[in-house]
Amino acid sequence: MRPASAEARRPGRIGWLALTASVAAALSVAACGSSSSGPGGAAIAHRPGAAGAVPSRSALATTMISGDTVLTNARGFTLYSFALDTGTSSQCDGQCARLWPPLEGPVTAVAGITGKLGTITRSGGTVQATYNGHPLYTYVADTAPGQAKGNGLNASGGVWHEITVPAPSPSPGGGLFDVGRR
């Protein structure tokens, strides 16, 4: 009996390559859509501002997380306050600031967000955004919009809280990030 050729021994090789290419193409098309899945299968959809514009890099927005309206940066990442901060200074430097990056200021807010925006000057001279007197931070463990992994953590000597805000009134053109739980 004669051994089968290499191609005859692997008849599915071309089929597997075609299947892999098809799956990759489908995933690419899905990633280009206007919504994605967040933590726990939460669908995250961005509603751009007027005339289809995305909020500027420095514009604050909101998202719904577990029924609360939470303040986010322009990319939809949750913003946090640190219990040890004051309205005029941040107590988060060094390693703390590497885990909880300060939000550079000044910032603006999309329509419907109420509250006082401001800035403080950090010990190194950089300007950090504040909301109602609280210096604002993101959290490195939040790897996608709509996550709030830092909420309630006791780290760097104090407790971290997501910034909750009154639900903004819907405005023409939107400008909010919504997270819907399934």
Query: Shortest CA distance to 47 belongs to which of 39, 57, 35?
Result: 35
pTM of the full predicted structure? Answer: 0.65
Chain segment 103-149, per-residue pLDDT in tens: 999 999 998 898 999 999 999 999 999 999 999 999 999 999 999 99
- Per domain, the residue ranges of the chain are 6-34, 39-180
Taking the CB of residue 103, how many other CB atoms lie within 10 A of it? 23
Give the pLDDT confidence score for residue 4 in this predicted structure. Answer: 47
Query: Could you give the count of Cα atoms lying within 13 Å of 76 in the half-sphere of its Cβ?
Result: 22
Average pLDDT, the chain: 73
**Confidence grade of residue 167 (pLDDT, cut at 50, 70, 90):** confident
